[in-house]
A and B are shown apart, each in its own frame.
Chain A
């Protein structure tokens, strides 16, 4: 691997990202999958870095999931998106940042489509007005939330309590980065680092002291693939794609996987359990899995937040081996305690995948 060759490509795919004043929209599914992630994004950006991030309870799904599952037509998804832009306009913002990769891809696709077919934009404006009497301005800038953590990565590094270094060996941790397909595969120029060698997550890992692994199936889909999972008859395809990635990264012994998409961390996390139970195979050390983190969770960890406050107990694959490597102190007894210090329910332990 020639690192300078990648740097050359990264230099070609940089984007100017506004520093402040963002209209933030959540993902439909992330709050169920990894509920701490979005909360921590706002906590870091607002509380720690003092930036202005606005969100509104009137925001809904962007329609991307239904669009990609082929259950709603493009005009419908465009009208939903037009409504989100109207909310942004009403709130007085111009910079739009999405938590979800598919939303980000959806917004970019719609804006590019309107650029090519202005008559479609006119029609969507009419539909939105008829539906809810709203008008909108198009955002000046659309970013994905990982773009912002990338942008703030050095500030985070400066405030970090932990580095991505194995306390036991002193070696940098080996990290797999996995980029959601809709981040840059549709519009490579809109992703930091492009679509073939994305830098958005690698940049964070490097800034926080880790080493990035480049393995053969790095670019491959996580396996979620919407209809591959949602239609039960296709679920084996979803599992098989994830399996293919794990088989490919296995020889590198990654310490953790970093993701920037709602579906990827969920499926790479949960399918490790299914693979373990059906194939008897685990990919981490000593029967554990490989922990899969969102970039917000990783940022929170290096900044020293309590692992149980950022929701890491909701991961299927145990994060404790990673916490031990990082030297992060945690209270095992507090893992399943709620905010009121009372025990919340404990998950049943799997048969094969070691979880504690």
Chain B
């Protein structure tokens, strides 16, 4: 029956439903991925970010919250310029990380 309204989708993240396997695989390949402390240096200087929504900080977060497709879609805008690896205070090799994400999340990129 159509009442003119229905259940609204929830934006809440349920960590119980997040499958950690791929992120664990990424962690094995890129131990530094966990070192991100969300300072935002990468995003503030990303030449693609302000026009396309690309943020490697958000990609790392989204992968941990079960939003792989969202993360990978964002990453398509990366131009691999290397600026984020210059500014990261935790020394994360973001270039290497991005390439590993592309490899491990091959399925989600399709």
A/B contact in complex, CB under 8 angstroms: yes
Could you pull out 28 A-B pairs where Cβ atoms are within 8 angstroms?
A232-B4, A232-B5, A233-B5, A235-B3, A235-B5, A236-B5, A236-B6, A236-B7, A236-B8, A237-B8, A239-B5, A239-B6, A239-B7, A239-B8, A240-B7, A240-B8, A240-B10, A243-B7, A274-B3, A275-B7, A277-B1, A277-B3, A278-B1, A278-B3, A278-B6, A278-B7, A279-B7, A351-B1
In the complex, the 4 A-B pairs of residues with the closest C-beta atoms, listed nearest first: A235-B5, A236-B8, A277-B1, A236-B5
How far does the Cβ of B10 sit from chain A's closest Cβ, in whole Å?
Answer: 7
A239 to B8, CA, bound (A): 8
Residues of A near B4 (CB, < 8 A) are: 232, 235
- The total of chain A residues at the interface (CB under 8 A) is 15
Total contacting residues, chain B, CB less than 8 A: 8
Residues facing B in A268-289 (CB within 8 A) are: 274-275, 277-279
A-B contact count (CB 8 A): 30
Which chain B residue lies CB-closest to A237?
A: B8
Which positions in B face A, CB cutoff 8 Å? 1, 3-8, 10
* Interface majority SS (helix, strand, loop, mixed), chain B: loop
The DSSP consensus for interface residues of chain A is: helix
Residues of A within 8 A of B (CB): 232-233, 235-237, 239-240, 243-244, 274-275, 277-279, 351
Supply 4 further A-B pairs (C-beta < 8 A) apart from A236-B5, A278-B6. A235-B3, A236-B6, A240-B7, A244-B10
- How far does the alpha carbon of A233 sit from the alpha carbon of B6 in the complex, in Å? 10
In the complex, what residue of chain B is closest to A350 when comparing beta carbons? Answer: B1
Bound CA–CA A232/B3 (angstroms): 10
By a CB distance below 8 angstroms, the chain A residues around B10 are 240, 244
Which B residues are in CB contact (< 8 Å) with A244? 10
| Cα of A293 to Cα of B3 in the assembled complex, Å | 25
A245 → chain B, closest Cβ, in Å?
13
In the assembled complex, which residues on chain B have CB atoms less than 8 Å from the CB atom of A275? 7
Q: Select from chain B the residue with minimum beta-carbon distance to A274.
A: B3
Among B3, B6, B7, B10, find the residue whose CB has the most chain A CB atoms closer than 10 A.
Answer: B7
